[in-house]
A = this chain, B = another copy of it.
Amino acid sequence: MVNFSDRMDGIKASDIRALLKLTAQPDIISFAGGLPAPELFPVEDIQTAFDAVMKENGRTALQYGQTEGYAPLRKHIVDRMAKKNNIHSDPDHVILTAGSQQGLDFIGKLFLNPGDVVVLESPSYLGAINAFKQYQPNFVEVPTDENGMIMEELDRVLATTENVKLIYIIPDFQNPSGRTWPLERRRQFMEIIEKYGVPAIEDNPYGDLRFKGEYLPALKSMDKQGLIIYFGTFSKILSPGFRIGWICANEQIIEKVNLIAQAAVLQTATVNAMVISKYLDLFDVDEHVAKILPVYKHRCGLMIDTMRECFPEEAKFTDPDGGLFTWVELPDYVNTRDLAAVALEHKVAFVPGSGFYPKGNVNNGMRLNYSCSTDDRIVNGIHLLSDVIKGALK
């Protein structure tokens, strides 16, 4: 009887969210989520920050605030982007969002008419695909290799595709592949998008989580024409439960995002922004990140070593320099969606790869998360998974 909008035809339940529900049982070893390690959350420091905000400024924290978000936090963000990413911006070019996911919704809404084209890496982040699908675009995927997006392919796509409104990329420790673009590809990318004048979202939730190799500059730091819409977040370095991310972009775009944010949500939570700002006043977040890195490095290394030890040679996997994920590719004939069901029976969970392709037509990938599992569970879980994979091979 109730008649929904046409866009709902394209909006389906996310594999990840559905799996996360199933995998909440403690007897299941889950590599399915993208969760930071909760034992590393700075609970006491956050509490100190909250108490300080309430004592100094409680009534402001509990009240409505500005759509663009608490100004001192935007100043912190600008200072940190300058220091860590060589991005020189201004608090007026930053708007807070309820995590980067909300940024994806806002930018999709800002740019996309039905039928417009979004260009993205293949595979790409499932949550971005789902956010953009709300606006009924067509997706064009650019092939990738071990160094991320292949720039000759991007050039060819932009030369031959009409109506490209937006490019979406994660150059650092990509979700789901864990791959990072080398410097030369970053330079090529900027040249190509400048040639065609196409704006691009640089989604950088994991950039601070580099535990191997050398720092590489953000695309935004090379952005001469204001084409890069940069996304940052506190979810992976501090707490996802606070839902505070940000968009940094040129004035014309930020002004429009502000209008969208007003209409969609009025503002992010005042209290959350003030507590994170106070945390950054009182504590050194980089000291906190420095505690996270060796743990993730160890867990990633243990997962990769265990896969090397027990996975069949038909299973290819990435060896990330940071972030939260590794990506496994099995022979084409293996459907990892079916495999995930078998794996769950064996008490181990992962995210099947098809959701990371907009058409859902590539079925042999699996995303594994290492950041929130103990050593025991990593070793046991990978052995369980190895048996499940072997059972599926011809």
Using a CB–CB cutoff of 8 Å, the interface residues on chain A facing chain B are 1-8, 11-14, 17, 20-21, 33-36, 38-39, 41, 43-44, 46-47, 50-51, 54, 58-67, 98-99, 101-102, 105, 109-113, 116, 127, 130-131, 133-135, 165, 197, 199, 239-243, 252-253, 256, 259-260, 262-272
Contacts and interface: CB of A to CB of B under 8 A. Distances in A.
Q: Which of A21, A51, A243 has the most CB of B within 10 A?
A: A243
A41 B66 contact: no
A62 B131 contact: no
Contact of A264 (B5, B12, B102): B102
Instruction: Count this chain's copies in the assembly.
Output: 2
Q: Which of A62, A66, A98, A105 has the most CB of B within 10 A?
A: A62
B17 A67 contact: yes
A63 B241 contact: yes
A265 B51 contact: no
Task: Please classify the interface of chain A as helix (H, G, I), strand (E, B), loop, or mixed, using the class held by over half of its residues.
Answer: helix
Contacts of A17: 67, 262, 266
B47 A58 contact: yes
B64 A43 contact: no
A62 B240 contact: yes
B46 A62 contact: yes
Contacts of A58: 41, 43, 46-47
A208 B334 CA distance: 57
Given A5-B110, A35-B63, A272-B271, A134 B240 contact: no
10 contacts: A5-B110, A5-B112, A34-B64, A47-B50, A61-B241, A63-B240, A134-B260, A134-B264, A243-B268, A271-B272
Nearest to A3: B165
Given A105-B265, A262-B14, A265-B98, A239 B62 contact: yes
A60 to B, nearest CB: 8
Given A46-B62, A165-B3, A269 B252 contact: no
A109 B134 contact: yes
Contact of A199 (B2, B60, B266): B2
Nearest to A268: B243
B54 A43 contact: yes
Given A51-B47, A113-B6, A242 B263 contact: no
